Amino acid sequence: MNKAFESLMELTRLQSEINKLFEQLFGGYERSDVSEQIWYPNVDLVETNMELQVCVELPGVSQNEIKLFIEGNLLVIQGVKKKDKEKVKKMKILQIEREYGPFYRAVLLHTAVNPMKATATFNTGILRVKIPKIEDKRAKRVEIVIE
């Protein structure tokens, strides 16, 4: 189920990118308000001997607008990137490429981790999360004798 969920999220992100391309090529922005559909920040996931490290690009997002939690084997990053609506109302928008509005990203954690020891920092628009790995107590492979 998690794999299917991740695939759906990636397809939704791809659709958003295609929509942006068509808007740029064929029509510009006739709307008076900047679209605030859900967007998906870029994520890097790295594994070391001791931990999983996740870096998330969130330029222009305020730290207090970010929610971060681990649920099962998913690291969930969500929040909102706000825009100055009064400033936008006074302008004629010619091109918008930056994302605004709610964002969401679920990162599948491929190994056993200790969520209680996870740490996060947020600096210059980059969220860095470190999650210590633990030994996976599940059996890797056990032969079963057929009687």
pLDDT, tens digit, 9 for 90 and up, residues 52-77:
999 999 999 999 999 999 998 899 99
Q: Yes or no: say if 45 and 68 are a contact pair by the CB < 8 Å rule.
A: no
Distances (CA, A) of 75 to 6, 25, 33, 56, 135: 12, 35, 32, 11, 18
Q: Is-above-0.75 flag for pTM?
A: no
Give dist(CA 105, CA 93) in Å, integer: 28
Of 8-17, 45-54, 108-117, 126-135, where does mean pLDDT reach its minimum? 8-17
User: Does the pLDDT of residue 36 top 90, yes or no?
Assistant: no
Q: How confident is the model at residue 91 (pLDDT cuts 50, 70, 90)?
A: confident
* CB within 8 Å of 57: residues ≥ 6 apart: 41, 42, 43, 125, 126
Residues 6+ apart with CB under 8 A from 28: 94, 95
- The token duo for 107 is 């990162």
44 Ramachandran zone, left/alpha/beta (phi>0; psi -120 to 50): beta
Domains of the chain, earliest start first: 2-132 (2.60.40.790)
Pure H helices in the chain: 2-26, 85-89
